[in-house]
Structure 1
Amino acid sequence: MMINSMDPTISSSPSVSNCRQTARCSGKLDVTLASRRRAELRRLKVKSNGDDCLTKRRRLENHNNDGKYDFDFPQQSCVIGRRREMEDAVSVELGFVNVNNDNTRKFDFYGVYDGHGGSRVAYACRERLHRLLAAEMKIGMGEVNWEKLMVESFEKMDEEVNESEVVGSMGSTATVAVIGEKEIVVANCGDSRAVLSRGGATVPLSNDHKPDRPDELERIERSGGRVIDWNGQRVLGVLATSRSIGDRQLNPYVIAKPEVTVNKREDGDEFIILASDGLWDVISNDLACHVVRKCLGGRIIFQKSTQERDDNQYKTMNAAKVLTKLAMARGSKDNISVIVMNL
């Protein structure tokens, strides 16, 4: 049988020119993708400076003591990132409680809440958790038992959420910091995180609650639950954190009891970073502290100030924004919420 060498249905080995042409196309494709990535970053930057629908996309949710949203309020930055819905919430309540009623023991409250299944539990925590804690602190005047206060406040928050039929299967992590003149108290329930920079060293103030953490895995299995690898280690193949507020259907495997750390303030304390896992998934503790240190030193500036404002407040706000932008650039696929507390 004779075979026509010109038959287009018969494949032949690629020629050198074809290989070169393919290589050039591949190179052009890489350049195109890089160009699109730069355009996307520029688009996000434009949106971060806009308002109305543009502001909704970036979803900055700065919340001050008056209950109003102030996009220039220092310390915090929240972005929706690559998610369709914003499920994070943050809370900054300066002087939220005065234990002795004589202004001698005032405390500031900071909280980061990472919702899942919806935003309602995170938003409820933002509005209520600091109030529950303040009420508990006023009841226990005198020496403060921080672990007892935090555990009771988180449990009450969990009860309130689970009694609501509207919430359904939603839940939220909660990582809060209470800062006084003498102490730094952090309560963590979930996989958000608090990190302290002290004398140039990075000091973790919380330990992520992941289902594959040995002690958490043992607790879940002892309660009759299982951890299943379903796009990552998850409780019953559903939830990627082993502790949260809400998640009624996953009790008793997922609990709302926080782990509490109490540290005395020292002269070398510089700042604290409180952030959701949208940041920590792509940025290490050391790198985050390194970036904030440079921002507070004025060596990294995300956006120059066009208004008269306190320089330290501006640098703190700048540091929070730089961290969110860096996490986006590093490919974070989650909502990103960051609070920076300059000590």
Structure 2
Amino acid sequence: MRADTADYRALFLSDTPLMDARAPIEFARGAFPHAANLPLMSDRERHEVGLCYTQQGPDAAIALGHRLVSGEVKASRLAAWAAFANAHPDGYLYCFRGGMRSQIVQTWLREEAGIAYPRVTGGYKAMRGFLLETIAKAAHPTAMVVLGGMTGTGKTDVLTGLAQGIDLEGHAHHRGSSFGKRVRAQPAQIDFENALAIDILRRQDAGHRVLVFEDEGQTVGGRSMPFDLYQAMQQCPLVWLEDTLEHRIERILRDYVVNLRAEFIAAYGASDGDARFAERLRQSLDKIAKRLGGERHKRLRAMLDEALDVQRDTGAVDAHRAWIARLLVEYYDPMYAYQRQLKRDRIVMSGDAGAVVAYLRRLGA
């Protein structure tokens, strides 16, 4: 039999299949990639056992748990655990602290299904702590570079093309701006942090000494940046990516019009998807109405509506360039120019994508 393990680093680096014996409500709050929720107890059962523990003590709670998970209920769950173990002979099981729940699952698998299956000692809590520590250790200004630039310069394109690039927006499933909401919902905060930590772990394991992050605010959509990481990003060197207005307009058109519409259509079908896409763009513009000012928002909204009508009727996207250009020049560019001025002492290099990529690769990261 394989031994139980506390080698969390190896578990995450090897994408080890994990059987999560916690209740569904615990799993929904946060989990790990490659983990399947096969609980010992349902949410209701867990709640009842918890009340019993509070009112009558641990022995009574354990006895209640065994009564609740018995007979056909136990047989069904045991069959699911056995199926997972047989499908993933290299996997491990865990519960919240690596204690009673995972030990019960392990014992029942061995005694009633003849399967010796190892567990993660310390459980979810220890693994989660390891990932948070991974982020905290990586959050040091000397081991980081932040990539900044005006909206639409292609920062994400550069990051995803770098072996040492960390795509925060990808992990948060949000493009970071008022227009950044995607079709699929953002991950839970804990899932965002876990995926980010594992990504950092992989880059470090590959030997990258300096990691590159996009310059982000304290939140990416509805997900909060880990505090240590955000603080370090305000102190580390900054590389500024530059590009022409024409190229930036085309990139915004690609990401926020062409690709976003395709996402909606793939999710909801042609007619409903197109209508939802149009409404999403209108909502995104309306969210910044106060900052734009009434007259400017009204003008941009009219340009957007016209472009959406043309796109709906003909499929052409050319009319979108007009409102995108105005939004960049009149709203986003002054804001980013001000931020660049505030951060000017941290800028160690600026240039186009080719120059920036070459510079970052020369860091030996």
Structure with the higher fraction of residues in strand conformation: 1
Say yes or no: TM over 0.5: no
Normalising to structure 1: TM-score of the pair? 0.28
Structure with the higher fraction of residues in helix conformation: 2
